[in-house]
Amino acid sequence: MKKLLILFLSIVLVLTPLYARAGEDINWDNVKDINGGTINSIALSQNFSADKTVYASTDTAVFVSSDTGKTWDKVPFSFTEGANIVLISKTFQENAIVLGTKNGVYISENKGKYWQVFNRGMKESYIIDLAEDSEGNLFALSFNGTIMQRNEDSDYWKTVMQIYPAATTITASQNYIYAGCEEGTIYKINPLSKEKEEIAKNLTESPISKLLVHNGTIYASTFYDGMFIGNKGDFAHELSDIKINDFAIENGKIFVATIDKGLMVKNGEWKTISKLDDVAVKCMTISNNFATDNTIFIGTIGKGIFRSNDAGATFTKSSYGITATSIVTVGFSSTYSTDGTVFVGTKNNGLYESTDFGKTFSYVPSFTSHYSITSICTTNNFTETQTVYVGTEGDGLFLSGDNGKTFQKLNVLPTQYISALFYTDNRTFIVGTGNNGIFTAKIQDSFFTQSNNGILPFDMNIISIAGSGDTIFIGTNGGGLYKSTNYGESWGKIGDRDIPPYSISDISLSNNYASDHTLVVGTTGSGIFISKNGGLNFANISDALLKNYMWVDGVQLSPNFPADHIVFAGSWDGVYLSTNSGNNWSNITGNKDNRYVYKVYFTPDFQYKKSGALYVATESGGLYILNQKEKTIIELWPDNSYMTVNGVNQEIDPGRGTKPVIIPAWGRTVVPIRAIVEALGGTISWEDETRKVTINFETTTIELWIDNPKAKVNGTEIWIDADNHNVKPIIVNDRTMLPLRFVAENLGCDVGWDPDTRTITITYGG
């Protein structure tokens, strides 16, 4: 009978597909300090006056607050496309949370800790509205106007009917369903007989945004044309031309949440009770104890949630922790390694800044909050001039001369739509616009010159700019990719033969572009392309994994690309990593619960698994940061049975006294390293029959065989020591001893040797 060996393997970690397994071990930090975003729906618990619990749904997640909306946390559940509507059930399943999402209905009976998929029998899964009646029936409305019904005793949804013109909202009253539709049409539906009655037809050209039936009266708000109040054949049209997303009725008063007029109330006559500057209201809810607490919550487009405790007279922002903001762009100071300055631009939520390497962010109050930031650029001599440029969508170009503390608008361009910014090494400032092409200026000049020589007339919407030296590349919304070799004075179209005419969403150049002429471009529809000859030819590098997610908004080459060959990409389905110049990709979305990645950015100090971080800007999911691993330092000595892990002394092979050994004939060190592998988070297994050792760490697998000078790393067979084919795993005193340097280097570790102290130092991360 063969003897089972207890393995003590020698290694430390992996520098190949860092996170290749679907990313389940990847831990992203979702920055809470950048908060706000668009709120689709708000609901209060049935016992709100006692438990203070509020729920809010966004395009990417559902949030819960247990302190009347002061702070928020995500519920532990990830949705395919976010939640459109949240309903706290009264009759279907009392106090249950019911969610209507783009991927069906979900239900939780324990405040969001556990969720049940609730889709059996559902004909359509894109749910835009929910309602329940007094008999315990739950109704769901799909995007195409299909109404479905389910009661608590049933395991299946039943289709009631599909409404045309397409229903946009539903409500339930006295065993009937009311559907508000496009073109201002309202139907009353009997879900048992499946008969419908037309209550109103073509009240307005606007779709109906919400319906309520109260004391026999129908209340219908519209997206563009006010409210209609009445019943069949007799509707009064009020608040004509006002855009209304939501309303509520309480104590005989009608509270209306408008898109651009704030909160209005009718108590005899209409009046505005609060006008929140630059805030578009999307949804609202009123406390079920309103007569006592006077509490109103409103959800906004881009600004999160506001709460009023005085019946709407005043509101305070209540969005801390709601990371539903759309992040558009990130900029780092050129002295980031010492000052830790990071700027983050949002859509409809202004500018944020961090001065502690992204650990915390604060809102930049000198920059108007409602602006949509498109681009951020810091000058190369950042500490000398302290200059930050910010481009916006529709509000022009801004300049800060004091490191982002205050900004002033620069009225130097004929357009307010600034889409991309770039600063060259000869102090040329290049500005891309959304409708007028390219403008350039020397940094010391106060005027810009339009520089569209060579750009086709339909390619004036610039999306991306990147460059190296005098060579500049621009990508356009029309699908054109252009190159300049004179700092933007003239342009030539490139890539037509290789890249289909999709929008060029992002461009990234190798830091060694002057020598290797390598660049990658991301497209919205045809994937990622790489050129290794300065744009003369391009090859599609979207492999089998990535080819189904060809909408790539962000792509970046590692700052150390010439050495590490790392490319990161952001698509509508998450974050992808390649460690071999795009030949293969791994999805590393991990715990990041927002799939739609808009852009990816490396910090200037990024070194793979050693330092720096990856910033990911998402659509409606906030900012995510993936920090590199913390440094692990292991020291060991030949003929010494102890080692230190980050300064802590421990025995290598407890109770056995096994030590690292230098094999004189090889000039190589072999070690028993189960303790080392486990200290780094790896695992080891032994196959007795084949005498095979298997080491797994993150996404790297190393297979070694006793007395075999070859090993496999992620399935590829290689020599353990290309210069000495005698080096191999061996067994000493029933312990497996592995060549240290081979294992360590294939796991991404640095190995050092001090001949004076005879110290072997293994360093990982940092």
Domain's final residue, options 222, 249, 276: 249
Residue 232: inside a domain: yes
Residue 272: inside a domain: no
One domain, residues 604 and 694:
no
Residue 751: inside a domain: yes
Task: Return the CATH number at 102.
Answer: 2.130.10.10
Domain's final residue, options 601, 626, 651: 626
Alpha-carbon gap, residue 77 to 58, rounded angstroms: 13
pLDDT in tens, 8-33: 233 222 222 333 333 445 778 899 89
One domain, residues 551 and 657:
no
Task: Return the CATH number at 737.
Answer: 3.30.457.10
What percent of the chain is modeled with pLDDT above 70? 93
Task: Enumerate the β-bridge partners of residue 735.
Answer: 732
Residue 95: inside a domain: yes
One domain, residues 505 and 384:
yes
pLDDT in tens, 634-673: 999 988 999 998 889 988 888 888 888 888 888 888 888 7
pLDDT in tens, 49-103: 899 999 999 988 899 999 999 999 988 776 666 788 999 999 888 889 999 998 8
Alpha-carbon gap, residue 103 to 538, rounded angstroms: 37
One domain, residues 71 and 207:
yes
pLDDT in tens, 701-756: 899 999 999 999 888 899 998 888 989 999 888 888 888 888 888 887 888 889 89
Q: Is the peptide bond before 638 cis (omega within 30 degrees of 0)?
A: no
Q: According to the per-residue pLDDT averaged within each range, which of 402-411, 514-523, 595-604, 664-673 is highest?
A: 514-523
Note the pLDDT of residue 630.
66
Alpha-carbon gap, residue 458 to 437, rounded angstroms: 10
One domain, residues 645 and 599:
no
Residue 266: inside a domain: no
Note the pLDDT of residue 544.
67
One domain, residues 536 and 654:
no
Instruction: Work out whether the CA dihedral 394, 397, 402, 404 comes out positive or negative.
Output: positive
Residue 476: inside a domain: no
pLDDT in tens, 118-175: 899 999 999 999 999 999 999 999 999 999 999 878 889 999 999 988 999 999 998 8
One domain, residues 344 and 404:
yes
325-338 average pLDDT score: 88
Task: Enumerate the β-bridge partners of residue 274.
Answer: 263
Note the pLDDT of residue 765.
67
Residue 535 contacts by C-beta under 8 Å, 6 or more apart in sequence? 473, 481, 483, 494, 495, 519
One domain, residues 698 and 622:
no
Question: Number of folded domains in the chain?
Answer: 3
One domain, residues 597 and 720:
no
Residue 233: inside a domain: yes
177-194 average pLDDT score: 94
335-351 average pLDDT score: 88
Residue 63: inside a domain: yes
One domain, residues 605 and 666:
no
One domain, residues 166 and 233:
yes
Domain's final residue, options 626, 658, 690: 626
Three-class secondary structure assignment of 40-58: CEEEECCCHHHHCCEEEEC
Q: Which of 580, 584, 554, 558 is nearest to 569 (CA)?
A: 554
Alpha-carbon gap, residue 8 to 657, rounded angstroms: 12
> Six-digit token pair at 263?
């909160």
Structural domain boundaries, residue 51: 34-249
One domain, residues 574 and 649:
no
